[in-house]
């Protein structure tokens, strides 16, 4: 059995990530089981190639399912949303809780410093409250020129 953080759920709309045992690569009971395995791996990794490597299911199979299975695109969208939420959770952790960076003195680790990501915090604020934290860029232009005036200027400049 192959260890993985992918948990296959019978409910296709709720792909869960957890520490569970998966069948060896390529040993899937049904086509639906194979699809759920791929989607669960994608939800964990957020990357089609990585999901393919993790499950032993070709990228091409995924794209064929997107075209031929009317339910698969919605399930893929749910897995993509789960992958995006995992990224957001990690961004929030790094912005708010920070990460520990080792401190060295004369080649030896002597402590740690907690570092926070202001950049991630800014992006999280812009996403959570775009009305308050969006980039405010306004361009107001009133251009009035006729085609004849534009042609005359072009002929005068030699363009």
Better-predicted residue by pLDDT, 33 or 158: 33
Better-predicted residue by pLDDT, 143 or 55: 55
If we measure between CA atoms, which residue out of 101, 100, 95 comes closest to residue 116?
95
DSSP-derived 3-state class of residue 99: strand
How does residue 1 score in pLDDT terms, banded at 50, 70 and 90?
very low
Confidence check: pLDDT of 149 > 90: no
DSSP-derived 3-state class of residue 3: strand
Confidence check: pLDDT of 7 > 50: no
Write down the mean pLDDT value for the chain.
84
129 backbone dihedrals φ, ψ, rounded to 5°: -135, 70
Confidence check: pLDDT of 23 > 90: no
Cβ–Cβ < 8 Å for 66, 76? yes
| pLDDT 10s digits, 124-140 | 999 889 889 888 777 87
Cβ–Cβ < 8 Å for 57, 37? yes
* For range 92-102, the mean pLDDT: 95
If we measure between CA atoms, which residue out of 37, 28, 47 comes closest to residue 4?
37
Q: What is the dihedral of CA 43, 48, 52, 57, to 10 degrees?
A: 90
pTM of the model: 0.63
């Amino acid at each position: 059995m192959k260890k993985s953080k992918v948990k296959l759920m019978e409910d296709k709309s709720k792909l869960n990530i957890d520490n569970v045992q998966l069948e060896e690569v390529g040993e899937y009971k049904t086509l639906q089981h194979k699809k759920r395995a791929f989607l669960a791996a994608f939800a964990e990794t957020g990357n089609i190639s990585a999901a393919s490597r993790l499950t032993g299911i070709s990228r091409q199979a995924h794209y064929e399912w997107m075209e031929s299975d009317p339910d698969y695109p919605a399930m893929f969208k749910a897995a993509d949303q789960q992958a995006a939420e995992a990224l957001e959770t990690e961004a929030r952790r790094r912005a708010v809780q920070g990460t520990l960076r080792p401190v060295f003195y004369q080649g030896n680790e002597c402590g740690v410093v907690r570092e926070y990501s202001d950049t991630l915090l800014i992006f999280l604020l812009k996403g959570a409250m775009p009305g308050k934290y969006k980039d405010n860029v306004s361009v107001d232009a009133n251009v009035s020129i006729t085609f004849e005036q534009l042609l005359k200027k072009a002929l005068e400049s030699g363009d």
